[in-house]
Amino acid sequence: MQAPSILSPSVSARAKAIRTGAGWAPNESISFIYGFPAPECLPNEAIAGASARALKTHGEWALQYGGDPGLANVLIKKLARDQKIMCTRENLMITAGSSQAIANICELMLDPGDVVLSEAPTFLGTARMMRNLGVEIEPVPLDDDGVRVDQLEASLIRLRTAGKKPKLFYVIPTFQNPTGVTTTLARRQRIVELAHEFDFAILEDDAYHDLRFTEERLPPLYVLDNGVRTFYTGTFSKILAPGLRLGWMVAHPDLIARISALKTEGGASPYSLHTGLEYCGPDGADLDANIARLREIYKRRCELMQDALTEFMPADVGWTKPKGGFFVWLTLPPNIDVTEMIASVRARGVDYLPGNACFFDGSGKNNIRLAFSYAAEDSLAEGIRIIAGEIRARC
């Protein structure tokens, strides 16, 4: 087939700037690369029952055009009880996964050339989205206590001096992706203060909030900010099933109304919404029970990985100690380039995400993101042993 003349002269300026990427398939025997839920965490039988009930009791509406049959009410109760986020249907929007929520918020807020602050490293899906939107990213580093708010402030002052006003700060304060660290309460308060002082919005991605391994629960930025300038996003992908594509955002009602007006792609699938509601039940009890189960499973997985790291890694490799979520972040000696180690590790049946995939500027080549969420539980130690062996060979 001949390449059409419409391609090169006529696509939008943004499309022209983007190269195509290759597909992927998780086919490794011990896969640490993807932030996927463990297969045993996906409630296949309960979902089959929920869909059957939805199709029987909601009739045509489970398969028709339309919206949410009441999952928002379940979420409103849950957010009030667990996250201490008080919201109504006016400031909650259910979306096709939190990636759609984040895309919608970026679409609402950002024009090409705008300046956006972001944790670095960060979630690569959002990083890619922002690159596609043609915004300028100002990276903010992290340490074991989360966002470096001193560095955030320094960036804000430098940008102001340069006549630049950032619109948005993208932050994952709890069990961060990719590092697993949690931003302390004092730092959260400082982020909100800075947002008011420098007049920027906060995009708080709280995908891992419920998957905590301890009883500690820090207030979201949305709560500290009283919901004035924070967009809060969450997802059923980590606490129920990614395949349903169900997520949400909470924001000021005026902002939700504007996003509603902008939306062109439609929201969550009505079939997923009805299935999700029937799964949760009106009081959300089955979702609560599932979350309690997942917390145990991921806590055990994280401990197994931590034990293996302690046992097998050379002394000059450091790693984070997450209190929740899916990920551990490794820092190797600076002379090791983990992108060059991928092939030999993969040849031994293991994969991981090279740290540079999570940065905007190609740094992080001596970092590795390890997901303890997906690989078989009894393979976690073996996978770490193999990676450690490859690192030792390069130390």
Report the site for its own copies in 40-79 (rule: CB under 8 A).
Answer: 42-45, 47-48, 51-52, 55-56, 59-67
Binder of its own copies out of 141, 153, 271, 337 (CB under 8 A): 271
When asked if residue 128 is in the footprint of its own copies (CB under 8 A), the reply is yes
Binder of its own copies out of 12, 27, 214, 335 (CB under 8 A): 12
When asked if residue 272 is in the footprint of its own copies (CB under 8 A), the reply is yes
Interacting stretch for its own copies, rule CB under 8 A, among 142-150, 175-183, 261-269, 295-303? Answer: 261-269
Spatial separation of the C-alpha atoms in residues 299 and 325, rounded to whole Å: 9
When asked if residue 37 is in the footprint of its own copies (CB under 8 A), the reply is yes
Q: Which is nearer to its own copies, 159 or 181 (CB)?
A: 159
In the complex, what is the shortest distance from the CB of residue 137 to its own copies, in angstroms, rounded to a whole number?
15
Residue reference for tokens 């509406």: 61
When asked if residue 255 is in the footprint of its own copies (CB under 8 A), the reply is yes
185-198 and 149-161 helices, crossing angle to 10°: 10
Q: Which is nearer to its own copies, 164 or 365 (CB)?
A: 164
Binder of its own copies out of 74, 93, 94, 108 (CB under 8 A): 108
Spatial separation of the C-alpha atoms in residues 353 and 375, rounded to whole Å: 14
When asked if residue 252 is in the footprint of its own copies (CB under 8 A), the reply is yes
Strands 350-351, 30-31: parallel, antiparallel or unpaired by DSSP? parallel
When asked if residue 241 is in the footprint of its own copies (CB under 8 A), the reply is yes
Binding-site size, its own copies (CB under 8 A): 89
Chain centre to alpha carbon of residue 98: 8
Structure tokens at 97: 């996964």
Task: Check if the beta carbon of residue 92 is closer than 8 Å to that of residue 267.
Answer: no
Residue reference for tokens 């100690």: 321
Structure tokens at 193: 């203060």
Instruction: Compute the CA torsion angle 146, 228, 224, 73 (nearest 10 deg).
Output: -100
Spatial separation of the C-alpha atoms in residues 391 and 336, rounded to whole Å: 8
When asked if residue 15 is in the footprint of its own copies (CB under 8 A), the reply is yes
Site string for its own copies, 149-168 (x = CB under 8 A): ------------------x-
